[in-house]
């Protein structure tokens, strides 16, 4: 009985130590490297690095395919969906590069990333591109909502400067302020916000905005798809130019909604982690979900890209078939006229 009690106590202590404790620590460098004490070190970093590599390969494939099919010189005349694919791929790719370096550094040294400035740089890169991606997908959801409900397409300005200034400029300012006050650094697993000095900043920079964006996207998504379903049923037997315009808007909305779906798939675990962390110790399984799903953005974006290309190819084939049918009808009428005149 005494041995059983000791074993149970040992498991409780091991579980309590599964996440780094900040008691008495002055910075993230005073925290233990997460996973070394409970044997979970490689089971965290190796899957994360694997997902990052696969994601980066997908990003490269997307960019190569995008610019092979269309010229970079005409980029800002591409459809919004096609431009969003490139923007999100760049976010994922730069995020992958920075995140793979800090994970690899930690795996090789079995220690935190040194020097401190290097870890702060990795943390800044993650803060910049995670936030940029969140804001960009939120703009997509808003654009779809406005397109469907108000029949207006958001104007991002020449060369998308409004979109880019908002999605990349705002996180850059926030990350720079965080770096100035020394809140970037190791959190025990990778470089992001310091696990001690940056705990509060992490909540307001990552957890709160991510939850707000998720909730807003859910509301926009639900209302948009409700409207799309209603309009689709109404237009089933409607013809004319107005109906064709509305159908085109619905198709564009459905395409852009794919980005919102991919966003949910990538960030649901981190959002849940942020809430759970404020209430109780986070279980190992949820932490594993975070390190997996948050690192597969490039793969999800690749799936969206494939669907967009297939839909565009299908639409093009239908358009060609319609033109061919019209041509055949005109040809048939002409032949009948000629025969009758003879």
Q: What percent of the chain shows pLDDT beyond 70?
A: 80
Residue 8, token pair as written in the block? 């149970």
Residue 171, token pair as written in the block? 């996180």
Residue 272 pLDDT > 80, yes or no? Answer: yes
Weakest-pLDDT range from 19-23, 62-66, 306-310 = 19-23
Residue 129 pLDDT > 70, yes or no? Answer: yes
39-76: burial string, b at 16+ Cβ within 10 Å, e else: ebbeebbeebbebbebbbebbeebbeebeeeeeeeeee
Residue 2 pLDDT > 50, yes or no? Answer: no
Range of 78-82, 85-89, 320-324 with top mean pLDDT: 85-89
Q: In the prediction, which pLDDT does 223 show?
A: 84
Tens digit of pLDDT for each residue in 142-174?
A: 888 888 788 788 899 999 999 999 999 999 999
Residue 160, token pair as written in the block? 């998308």
Weakest-pLDDT range from 237-246, 284-293, 314-323 = 237-246
Helices 41-69 + 284-293 axis angle, to 10: 20
Strand partners, 191: 186
Give the Cα separation of 37 and 277 in Å (integer). Answer: 20
Residue 17 pLDDT > 50, yes or no? Answer: no
Give the Cα separation of 200 and 313 in Å (integer). Answer: 48
Q: Which band of pLDDT confidence, cut at 50, 70 and 90, is reported for residue 299?
A: very high
Q: Which band of pLDDT confidence, cut at 50, 70 and 90, is reported for residue 244?
A: low
Q: In the prediction, which pLDDT does 49 show?
A: 95
Range of 151-155, 178-182, 318-322 with top mean pLDDT: 178-182
Give the Cα separation of 11 and 98 in Å (integer). Answer: 35
- Of 101, 125, 103, 127, nearest to 34 (Cα)? 103
Q: What percent of the chain shows pLDDT beyond 90?
A: 42
Query: 76 near 120, Cβ under 8 Å?
Result: no
CA 23 to chain centre: 34
Side-chain half-sphere CA neighbours of 56 within 13 A? 15
Query: 145 near 256, Cβ under 8 Å?
Result: no
Helices (H), the chain: 2-16, 41-69, 80-109, 116-150, 161-164, 170-180, 199-202, 208-234, 241-279, 284-293, 297-341
Query: 215 near 44, Cβ under 8 Å?
Result: no
For residue 71, what is the DSSP state? Answer: -
For residue 151, what is the DSSP state? Answer: -
Give the Cα separation of 92 and 119 in Å (integer). Answer: 19
Give the Cα separation of 39 and 19 in Å (integer). Answer: 12
280 SS3 class: coil
Tens digit of pLDDT for each residue in 33-52?
A: 988 988 889 988 999 999 99
Residue identified by tokens 């509060």 is 200
Helices 41-69 + 80-109 axis angle, to 10: 150
Enumerate residues 6+ apart whose C-beta is below 8 A from 186: 28, 29, 31, 112, 113, 119, 194, 195
Give the Cα separation of 37 and 120 in Å (integer). Answer: 25
Provide the residue count of the chain. 342
Q: What mean pLDDT do residues 26-37 have? A: 91
Model's pTM, two decimal places? 0.80
């Amino acid at each position: 009985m005494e041995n059983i009690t000791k074993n149970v106590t040992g498991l409780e202590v091991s579980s309590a130590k599964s996440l780094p404790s900040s008691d008495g620590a002055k910075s993230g460098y005073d925290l233990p490297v997460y996973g070394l004490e409970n044997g979970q070190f490689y089971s965290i970093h190796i899957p994360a690095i694997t997902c990052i590599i696969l994601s980066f390969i997908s990003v490269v494939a997307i960019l190569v395919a995008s610019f092979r099919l269309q010229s970079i010189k005409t980029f800002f005349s591409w459809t919004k969906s096609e431009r969003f694919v490139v923007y999100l791929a760049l976010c994922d790719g730069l995020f992958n590069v920075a995140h793979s370096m800090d994970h690899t550094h930690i795996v090789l040294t079995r220690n935190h990333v040194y020097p401190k400035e290097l870890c702060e740089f990795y943390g800044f890169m993650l803060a910049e591109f995670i936030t940029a991606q969140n804001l960009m997908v939120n703009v997509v959801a808003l654009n779809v909502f406005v397109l469907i409900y108000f029949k207006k397409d958001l104007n991002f300005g020449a060369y998308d400067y409004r979109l880019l200034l908002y999605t990349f400029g705002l996180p850059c300012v926030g990350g720079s302020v965080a770096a100035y006050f020394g809140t970037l650094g190791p959190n025990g697993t990778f470089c992001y916000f310091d696990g001690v000095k940056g705990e509060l900043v992490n909540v307001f920079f990552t957890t709160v905005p991510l939850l707000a964006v998720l909730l807003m996207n859910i509301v926009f998504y639900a209302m948009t798809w409700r409207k799309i379903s209603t309009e689709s049923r109404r237009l089933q037997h409607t013809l004319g130019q107005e109906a064709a315009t509305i159908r085109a808007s619905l198709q564009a909305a459905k395409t852009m909604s794919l980005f919102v779906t991919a966003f949910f798939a990538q960030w649901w675990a981190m959002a849940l982690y942020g809430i759970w962390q404020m209430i109780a110790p986070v279980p190992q399984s949820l932490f594993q979900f975070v390190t997996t799903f948050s690192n597969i953005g490039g793969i999800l974006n690749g799936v969206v890209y494939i669907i967009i290309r297939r839909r565009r190819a299908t639409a093009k084939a239908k358009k060609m078939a319609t033109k061919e049918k019209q041509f055949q009808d005109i040809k048939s009428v002409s032949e009948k006229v000629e025969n009758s005149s003879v």
